[in-house]
């Protein structure tokens, strides 16, 4: 009986595959290599890696691994298709409990309309490896400028975009100008925005037109000397340092000067914008966490204030109050949710814009 049931399930499964195979075969797929993948700090041999990890053997192994995750990468293309779908494969990683699957290993699409990037749909994974998903359908005729944000926490292994038969898809432009690096923790990488395009560097890019580059490394951004050297060697028009959450207070005290000074030596006039830690809601009742975060912020501010005496292009935005005053702006006491990120952006976005304008960037 059990074997017969198994046979029935296999037949049903094959019928289902045939059916969905037919449905999918209506879409015509283009590999992402033929479109324009934006958001990288540098060219990388592996198309979906943020950094060329083989060229950075001296940075910590975990940071190299995290650089293979596609946080902040977005595929720019244009199409007149009424439907946009995606086939993509990621590594086998399962979603973290403080994130949605859509953010961790899914994607979201934005289309430019009336001069503004507007949300159009999400690509939802059906397995932790390879999935196919309709992202948006029944759209009006006409050419659409599209930006598809890749998974923030998983490694993307392959991606192709599906359009209706007879429709056209083309490589899109780089829609963002200049290059503003953001070096930071899981919060920069995208935890806990509810989808990839809501990670704060991605929101900043769409909302300001500047090319903010996601150099967020979950559980890391500990200002290691090797990482400081790597950052300093990168081309940039400005850099944001949002790296207080993960190092210990002692590491903040010991490493801040080297990080800032090293970047400054390679980039004598770029604005360096530092942000205090927002990861403090867990310390609302936990007195040990509260004291630790306060000490890290104190050390960070102390080191930045010292450096500012001889560096008029170094800025500090305090972390206190950036997520609001009601403690509802995080998912888990550490990582901002979309409400926390929105409150944070309402405060830091105008400050960052003012600084960039001052430098005519």
Of 273 and 293, nearer to its own copies (C-beta) is 293
Question: Among residues 39, 72, 106, 190, which is the contact residue for its own copies, using CB under 8 A?
Answer: 106
Closest approach, Cβ 194 to its own copies, in A, equals 4
Taking CB under 8 A as the rule, does residue 100 contact its own copies? Answer: yes
Element (H, E) at 222: none
- Alpha carbon 271 to chain centroid distance? 22
Question: Among residues 339, 347, 353, 361, which is the contact residue for its own copies, using CB under 8 A?
Answer: 339
Taking CB under 8 A as the rule, does residue 317 contact its own copies? Answer: no
Taking CB under 8 A as the rule, does residue 280 contact its own copies? Answer: no
Write out the two tokens for 17.
């595959």
Q: What does residue 287 show for φ and ψ, rounded to 5 degrees? A: -70, -30
Return the residue matching tokens 């720019």. 76
Question: Among residues 81, 95, 152, 214, which is the contact residue for its own copies, using CB under 8 A?
Answer: 95
Please tell me the distance from the alpha carbon of residue 131 to that of residue 157, in angstroms, as a whole number.
12
Question: Among residues 87, 125, 264, 267, which is the contact residue for its own copies, using CB under 8 A?
Answer: 125
Q: Over the range 170-188, which residues count as b (16 or more CB within 10 Å of their CB) and which as e?
A: eebeebbeebbbbbbbbbb
Footprint of its own copies on 134-193 (CB under 8 A): 136-140, 192
Taking CB under 8 A as the rule, does residue 337 contact its own copies? Answer: yes
Count residues binding its own copies (CB under 8 A).
49
Q: Over the range 239-260, which residues count as b (16 or more CB within 10 Å of their CB) and which as e?
A: bbbbbbbbbebebbbebbeebb
**Which stretches of 121-244 are DSSP H helices?**
186-189, 200-208, 225-232
Write out the two tokens for 302.
């102390």
Taking CB under 8 A as the rule, does residue 346 contact its own copies? Answer: no
Question: Among residues 81, 340, 344, 348, which is the contact residue for its own copies, using CB under 8 A?
Answer: 340
24-32, 264-272, 297-305, 333-341 -> range binding its own copies (CB under 8 A): 333-341
Query: Which residues touch 75 (CB under 8 Å, ≥6 apart)?
Result: 32, 35, 36, 37, 38, 146, 147, 148, 150, 159, 161, 172
Question: Among residues 330, 344, 348, 352, which is the contact residue for its own copies, using CB under 8 A?
Answer: 330
Please tell me the distance from the alpha carbon of residue 218 to that of residue 176, in angstroms, as a whole number.
25
Of 67 and 107, nearer to its own copies (C-beta) is 107
Footprint of its own copies on 21-80 (CB under 8 A): none
Of 248 and 257, nearer to its own copies (C-beta) is 248
Of 43 and 140, nearer to its own copies (C-beta) is 140
Write out the two tokens for 293.
């975060």
Taking CB under 8 A as the rule, does residue 114 contact its own copies? Answer: no
Give contact residues for its own copies (rule: CB under 8 A). Answer: 95-102, 106, 111, 118-122, 124-125, 136-140, 192, 194-195, 198, 203, 281-282, 284-289, 326-333, 337-342
């Amino acid at each position: 009986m059990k074997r017969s049931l198994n046979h029935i399930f296999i037949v049903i499964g094959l019928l289902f595959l045939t059916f969905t195979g037919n449905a999918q075969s209506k879409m015509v797929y283009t590999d992402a290599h033929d479109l324009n993948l934006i958001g990288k700090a540098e060219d990388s041999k592996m198309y979906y890696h943020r950094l060329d990890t083989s060229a950075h053997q001296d940075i910590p192994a975990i940071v190299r691994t995290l650089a293979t995750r596609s946080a902040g990468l977005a595929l720019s293309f244009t199409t007149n298709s009424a439907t946009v779908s995606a086939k993509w494969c990621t590594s086998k990683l399962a979603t973290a409990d403080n994130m949605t699957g859509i953010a961790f290993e899914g994607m979201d699409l934005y289309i430019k309309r009336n001069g503004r990037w507007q949300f159009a749909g999400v690509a939802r994974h059906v397995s932790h490896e390879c999935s196919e998903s309709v992202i948006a359908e029944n759209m009006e005729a006409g050419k659409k400028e599209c930006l598809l944000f890749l998974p923030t926490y998983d490694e993307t292994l392959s991606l192709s975009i599906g359009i209706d038969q007879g429709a056209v898809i083309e490589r899109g432009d780089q829609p963002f100008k200049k290059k503003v690096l953001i070096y930071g923790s899981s919060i920069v990488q995208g935890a806990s925005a509810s989808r990839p395009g809501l990670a704060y560097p991605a929101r900043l890019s769409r909302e300001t037109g500047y090319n903010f580059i996601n150099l967020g490394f979950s559980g890391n951004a500990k200002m290691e000397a090797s990482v400081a050297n790597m950052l300093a060697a990168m081309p940039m028009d400005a850099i944001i340092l949002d790296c207080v959450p993960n190092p210990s207070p002692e590491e903040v005290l010991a490493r801040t000067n080297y990080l800032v000074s090293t970047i400054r030596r390679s980039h004598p006039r770029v604005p360096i914008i530092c942000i205090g830690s927002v990861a403090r809601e867990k310390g609302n009742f936990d007195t040990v966490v509260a004291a630790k975060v306060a000490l890290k912020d104190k050390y960070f501010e102390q080191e930045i204030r010292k450096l500012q005496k001889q560096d008029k292009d170094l800025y500090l935005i305090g972390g206190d109050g950036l997520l609001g005053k009601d403690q509802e702006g995080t998912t888990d006491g550490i990582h901002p949710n979309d409400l926390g990120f929105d409150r944070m952006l309402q405060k830091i976005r105008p400050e960052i814009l003012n600084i960039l304008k001052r430098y005519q960037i």
